[in-house]
Chain A
Amino acid sequence: EIVLTQSPGTLSLSPGERATLSCRASQSVSSSYLAWYQQKPGQAPRLLIYGASSRATGIPDRFSGSGSGTDFTLTISRLEPEDFAVYYCQQYGSSLAFGQGTKVEIK
């Protein structure tokens, strides 16, 4: 079973700043089957990135994903007010699992 560890737990930033979120897997994620989701309070998660680096439909280009093997990154180039939320990584190549989440909060 692959375990995903996200860091940091909380990221305190101001609008306009760059956010870098990390997701580390306990084993290599096959074929880069790694996704990122955004979740706001009271809402279902929203897919941002799949296949480690492909943006989902309608996702702004300030969101980008990178990485392979066991180390993956979600970058938000310039934070907009609506980007403050919790972000989860997910691997779906071998069984399926989510990371524990990173909260991006307003500094």
Chain B
Amino acid sequence: QVQLVQSGAEVKKPGASVKVSCKASGYTFTSYDINWVRQATGQGLEWMGWMNPNSGNTGYAQKFQGRVTMTRNTSISTAYMELSSLRSEDTAVYYCAEGAADGAFDIWGQGTMVTVSS
């Protein structure tokens, strides 16, 4: 079945970087944009940006410009989100999501918990 499987939980120190992976299966990876959304504990959903897996083109939310990089490896149907200069406020669950429903996110990864702590 169509699914996105993300990498495991991460613990990082302030100032470090984290790279989260999102492996797609059950559909043609290059067909739909991959988006990244994060959610701090008890808070709402925050969109970070999108990537077209076919072209590699990206678009980032202004808040994350200069700190986030979204890439992909089409040979293994995997998307990546790297966030640098981490601070405690970046502690959150990070989700990848595929925009196959006319651009809306119909398939989500299981989430990756990233904890930033000294």
Contact surface of A with B, Cβ cutoff 8 Å = 1, 33, 35, 37, 39, 44-47, 50-51, 54, 56-57, 88, 90, 92, 95-101
Contacts and interface: CB of A to CB of B under 8 A. Distances in A.
Interface of B: 35, 37, 44-47, 50, 59, 61-62, 95, 97, 99, 101-106, 108-111
Contacts of A97: 47
A41 to B, nearest CB: 10
Given A44-B110, A57-B106, A101-B44, 13 more contacts: A1-B62, A33-B102, A37-B105, A44-B108, A44-B111, A45-B97, A50-B102, A51-B102, A90-B105, A95-B59, A96-B47, A98-B44, A98-B47
19 contacts: A33-B104, A35-B105, A44-B97, A44-B109, A44-B110, A45-B45, A45-B95, A50-B103, A50-B106, A51-B102, A90-B47, A90-B104, A90-B105, A92-B103, A92-B104, A96-B35, A96-B61, A98-B45, A100-B44
